[in-house]
Amino acid sequence: MRILKRIDVKHEEAVQIVVTGSRGKSSVVRFLFAALSACGLRTWARITGVIPRELSPSGERAILRSSGGHVEEMRWWLSSIPSEAEAIVMENSAVAPDLQRLAAQWMGKDALLVLTNVRPDHQDAWGAGEIGAVRALSGGIPKGATVFIPENTARSLSLLTALEEKECHVHIAPPVFSSSSPEWVNENLSIVLAILSCLGLNEKKGEEAVRSLPPDMADFKVLSFDGSQLAVAFSANDIETTIRLFNTLQWSMEGTTVLFNNRRDRPERLKAFLPWLQKKQWKRSFLMGDRPFKSHLLYREVLSVDALKRLIKEEGRVFGCGNVAGVPLQLLIEGKQGEDHA
Work out the percent of the chain whose per-residue pLDDT is above 70: 88
One fold for both 15-211 and 221-340?
no
Torsion region of 49: left, alpha or beta (phi above 0 gives left; psi -120 to 50 gives alpha): left
Determine the Cα–Cα distance for residues 9 and 24; give it in Å rounded to an integer.
26
3-state helix, strand, coil in the chain (%, to 5): 40, 20, 40
- The confidence score (pLDDT) of residue 123 equals 65
Q: Between residues 342 and 135, which one has the greater pLDDT? A: 135
Q: Tell me: pLDDT of 91 over 80.
A: yes
Question: Binning pLDDT at 50, 70 and 90, where does residue 97 land?
Answer: low
Q: Indicate the domain borders of the chain.
A: 15-211, 221-340
Residues 6+ apart with CB under 8 A from 298: 284, 285, 286, 287
**Range 15-211 classified under CATH 3.40.47.10:** no
- The confidence score (pLDDT) of residue 56 equals 95
Torsion region of 289: left, alpha or beta (phi above 0 gives left; psi -120 to 50 gives alpha): left
Q: Class for domain 221-340, per CATH?
A: alpha beta
pLDDT in tens, 238-274: 898 899 999 999 999 999 999 999 998 888 889 889 9
How far from 302 is each of 136, 154, 179, 258, 259, CA to CA, in Å? 34, 41, 37, 14, 11
**Count of C-beta atoms within a 10 Å radius of residue 72:** 11
pLDDT in tens, 328-342: 999 988 876 545 544
Q: How many CA atoms lie within 13 A of 117 on its CB side?
A: 20
